[in-house]
Structure 1
Amino acid sequence: MVNPNQIVAVVDDDESVCRAIKRLLHSAGIEAETFSSGDELLNMLSAIPSYRPACVILDIQMPGTGGLEVQRQLAPLGLPIIMITAHDELAVRQAALASGAAAYLRKPFNAAILLKAVELAINGPLRP
């Protein structure tokens, strides 16, 4: 279960995707904040150093700073990142996962799979 005080940052240049993911997370009791670009998230993190989402859902292809570059810039913060994309390319998938992405999902994705990915990204894998 995700702590209700934790916030998930959703970064996608498609407003309808942000809205849908935010609504899905909210229905599962997870707070979400949306950002229309990687630059917008990076600026928020820079302007408010105490802002730390529990997880970032990050689109790969966006205008400005793309998802892989945002992932690279977020790496020192140790934030779990779930990459999402409409254009699945093997090299991009491998780069994202090699750089530490907690999950890589192709749009459109199943709601239950996204929720499970968020839970695992925040809480880590279940230990016996």
Structure 2
Amino acid sequence: MGKPKRFVVVVDDDESVSRAIKRLLRSIGIAAETFASGDVFLDVLSSMPSYRPDFIILDVQMPGLNGLEVQRRLSGSGTPVIFITAHDDIGVREQALAGGAVAFLQKPFDDELFIKTIRTALEEGGRS
């Protein structure tokens, strides 16, 4: 039996961003599922205990729960988080990284940097 395919969750309220990230991940052999809100993602996570992505890509600003709140609710799960945002605020960046995020990227990000960040997160198992 082969190695199981890597699986990532993308939580972003901008559908075009989610589609682009999903396509980029697929190009490097990583399966992705997208969610338009943190609320929906957390509902799926709590209703399916076996649902465990390798890591989560979270937008900071979304309707309902923002990315930082989703990160807080995931605290202790051991699931690595990579933040993406169009609004780079140093305080938010510091809060995300202090909460255990493995990376914090500003949109629009360079595809090569994004792929390198993803590979590093997978290689390190999300530990930085």
Q: TM-score range by the shorter chain?
A: over 0.9
Amino acid corresponding to residue 16 of structure 2 in structure 1: S
CA displacement 1:31-65 (0-9 Å, x = unmatched):
10001011111011101000000010000000000
Q: What does 1:1-128 align with in structure 2 at a 5 Å threshold?
A: 5-124=5-124
Secondary structure, counterpart of 1:62 in structure 2: coil
Quote the Cα distance in structure 2 between the aligned partners of 1:21 and 1:45.
21
Q: How many residues align?
A: 123
Report the identity percentage: 58
Superposed CA RMSD in Å reads 1.2
Amino acid corresponding to residue 100 of structure 1 in structure 2: G
User: Conserved in 2, the CA contact under 8 Å of 1:80 and 1:122?
Assistant: no
CA displacement 1:51-89 (0-9 Å, x = unmatched):
000010000000000000000111110111000000000
Q: Which runs of 5+ in 1 are unaligned?
A: none
User: Conserved in 2, the CA contact under 8 Å of 1:4 and 1:30?
Assistant: no
Quote the Cα distance in structure 1 between the aligned partners of 2:115 and 2:41.
21
Q: TM-score, length-normalised on structure 2? A: 0.92
Q: TM-score, length-normalised on structure 1? A: 0.92
How far 1:4 moved relative to its partner?
5.1
Secondary structure, counterpart of 2:75 in structure 1: helix
Secondary structure, counterpart of 1:96 in structure 2: helix
Quote the Cα distance in structure 2 between the aligned partners of 1:122 and 1:46.
23
